[in-house]
A and B are shown apart, each in its own frame.
Chain A
Amino acid sequence: MSTFDKVKKTVLYVLLILLAVVCMVPFLLTLVNATRSGNEIVTSFTLIPSTHLKENWETVFQFFNLFKGMWNSIKVAVPATLLTAYFSAMTAYGLAMYKFRGNKVLFMGIVIFMMIPGQLSLIGFYNLCTKLHLVNSYLPLIIPAIAAPGTVFFLRQYILSVLPPSLIEAARIDGASEIYSFHRIVLPIMSPGIATMSIMAFIGNWNNYLLPMIILNKNEKFTLPVMMATLKASTDIQRNQGAIYLAVAISIIPILIVFCFCSKYIISSISAGSVKE
């Protein structure tokens, strides 16, 4: 490699690092500014933390209890994710391994539905929830997770590539029931694929804003994103930018922790999405 190429390569690395900085600096600023007072933030700019974390903390928690919002988000996101994981695996297995009438129709329905924008059904969905008296309940945010077309699609392809049908036939000869085979043989083999989709489902549920905002209208029921959005209405907190930064910081920390442990799974699931053709 010539010297000129080496220079070019170095320049490329510098640009890549700059782009990485652009991706991280807003979060860094958030963490730093969360420890500074409103006055400090307004008058100067720095990356050195200050000493006003406690005051900001008090301002934030006088306005709302973010931990309550986090707990509410957990109450929605965890059951929804478990339902998506279990029932998507079950549906995918049914579609991939059994030849029953309606199999192809159902699969087509799933593919078509993956392309229909969610907002199309928003009004009908809300209308249904009012009729079933499910407004302000977590059920409409949790139960529909049983039917996740995208996850089923992915897991169906996954089963076809990792699960040899002969394995199930062998289990049948040994007298295992179908549901027993599913729980004891299929689920363990599928677990890497299920884990990948679960992490994505969890993040999607955790960050979801529009639907919970429409369904929930009592403060004590608000999930984290809906609670964060009420910042818009608070003049008290708007006056103290340090408090806003702290609220943002608290709201992103759980997701950052998830990312630290699961970034490999997350990236592999996106990669899988693009090469599934």
Chain B
Amino acid sequence: MAKAAVTKKKRMKNYNNAGYFFVLPFVIVFLIFSIYPVFRTLYLSFTNFKGFGTPEPVGLQNYARVLTDKFFWRALWNTVRIWGVNIVLQLGLAFLLTIVFSDIKYKMRGLGIFRAIYFLPNLIAATSVSFLFKTLLDWRYGTFNQVLNAIYQFFGISKEPIDWLGSGNYAGYVIAVISAWMWFGNSFIMLMAGVQGISKDYFEAAAIDGAGRWTVFGKITLPLLRPILLYVAITSLIGGLQMFDLPFLMADKASAAYNSVQTVVMYLYKFGFETGTTQVGYASAIAYVLFLIILAVSLIQMKLFNRKGD
């Protein structure tokens, strides 16, 4: 008996060793293409590497420079401002839609088709979206201003056309709105999945107890949705702080708006990859400062949400 148990254990162990075989390709590629670049960037951030030649160590010099670089802080502020406007619209709209579709009294139909349509903008490559809106919003020839102008004329108002993407006052907000347009469907699907994951028993019990729909919403739906709201907000923040494609493609370098929409990653790109301004060491330090900011904000956000949960 005992002998049989030992051999069985031994054989199980052999089986378990097959696990190494299954994870090996992943581990190799992960080490080379994911882990190594992270540490390589860290190393380069302590050097004066210019993209060619040998990197020489300069200690914390790059980090000191990031912290005192007013253009870095401007880029960070631009990023946060654009993301802030975007997340309010994106999550607000997604939340409203979730309330409408989860209402126990109205029982709205057509969730499948609406959800698919709302998600559509998220599928299109940012490059295509950028050129589409750049052309639609062109201040002289764009369709958007044509429609606006037609409305103004109808009411007998005369107004100068607005240069949506060329003016520092508007460009950031325009990009935020387009970004929200691209992402609200995604958030909506996530929130809705959360509602559908809530056990029907809760709702039935509440209905038997005679709870009104707002009570149900406030006491059941909202509290159970909180972790998903947190998840959506954090993923959006991590993505938002890395914003690049839309502002990079939509704002012309020569335009007055460029300085108001240059994001941190655009700033990083300038030093990391653009010819003429390449300072790879400095760009690496920017990457790490950005990472630390993302990390800090995620931790604070998690703490806040956990406390409210009690």
Contact = CB atoms under 8 A, between A and B. Distances in A.
A272 B25 CA distance: 26
Tier of interface size on chain A:
35 or more
Nearest to B43: A124
Interface string A115-131: 11111111111111000
Contact of A270 (B19, B33, B190): B190
A124 B39 contact: yes
Interface string B224-250: 000110011000001001101100010
A274 B231 contact: yes
A263 B242 CA distance: 27
B90 to A, nearest CB: 13
A91 B22 contact: yes
Given A12-B100, A271-B192, A120 B123 contact: no
A275 interface: yes
Interface string A257-275: 0110001001100111111
Interface in A239-267: 241, 244-245, 247-248, 251-252, 255-256, 258-259, 263, 266-267
A274 B36 CA distance: 30
A102 B40 CA distance: 24
Give the dominant DSSP class at A's interface: helix
Interface core residue of A152, A266, A267 (most chain B CB under 10 Å): A267
A178 B21 contact: yes
A258 B138 CA distance: 30
Contacts of B22: 90-91, 93-95, 98, 178, 182
A113 B39 CA distance: 13
B139 interface: no
Nearest to B140: A42
Nearest to B268: A119
A126 B26 contact: no
A97 interface: yes
A210 interface: yes
Nearest to A251: B128
B6 interface: no
B161 to A, nearest CB: 13
A175 B131 CA distance: 59
A248 B132 contact: yes
A41 B141 contact: yes
A277 interface: yes
A133 interface: no
A29 B146 CA distance: 13
Nearest to B287: A120
A185 interface: no
20 contacts: A29-B143, A45-B146, A87-B26, A91-B25, A95-B23, A100-B17, A113-B30, A120-B287, A126-B272, A127-B40, A127-B44, A207-B124, A207-B125, A225-B127, A228-B125, A228-B128, A259-B123, A267-B115, A274-B189, A274-B228
Given A118-B242, A127-B44, A144-B34, 19 more contacts: A19-B118, A42-B140, A98-B19, A106-B23, A106-B27, A117-B290, A117-B291, A120-B291, A121-B41, A124-B40, A124-B41, A178-B18, A244-B131, A255-B125, A267-B116, A270-B190, A271-B189, A274-B190, A275-B228
